[in-house]
Amino acid sequence: MAVVDELIRQETNGSISFGNHKLETKEKVDNFEHDGDLYKVKTFKTMTKLERNGLFVYESVPGTSVLDFSENEKGVSFLVEGDEDAQITVGLTEDTEYVVYVADQNIGKMKTGLGGKLNLSVELAGAGEVKVDIVSK
């Protein structure tokens, strides 16, 4: 997968792609409009963060490149790539149980707390693209 040179873009399937884990210095894009929402992305090799309308959506440490990020009432789905294994946090519905799939493998159930954040680790070093699906029960 290639990094997202423009830092954030809309895909033809209605999803968005964002992040560039190869950047040496932090770069950001503010007020990117997609489906009536405004997105902000900050990214570089040590961190990638996405906000929608000022609210938390996604963060990874170290930085990642994310393709085909899509959300619906059941959860989120995306492809992620990075040079190192990453800790990923996704903003979801508060106090909800989700089933998490990484590379089409069920890694178990996880529950969000009052903040609606779900944390997972993804092995990315040398893996190329890794598919992540987070689905509410």
Domains of the chain with CATH codes: 8-136 (2.60.40)
Nearest-angstrom CA–CA distance, 12 and 34:
12
pLDDT of residue 2: 67
Total-model pTM: 0.95
pLDDT of residue 81: 96
Residue type present at position 46:
T
Cα→Cα distances 38→53, 66, 119, Å: 5, 18, 24
Task: Per residue of the chain (137 residues), give pLDDT as tens.
Answer: 568 889 999 999 999 999 999 999 999 999 999 999 999 999 999 999 999 999 999 999 999 999 999 999 999 999 999 999 999 999 999 999 999 999 999 999 999 989 999 999 999 988 889 999 999 98
Structure token digits, residue 84: 């190192």
- N- to C-terminal Cα distance for the chain? 30
* Phi-psi domain of 13 (left: phi exceeds 0; alpha: psi -120 through 50; beta: other): alpha
pLDDT of residue 1: 52
pLDDT of residue 53: 98
pLDDT of residue 70: 97
Nearest-angstrom CA–CA distance, 59 and 48:
5
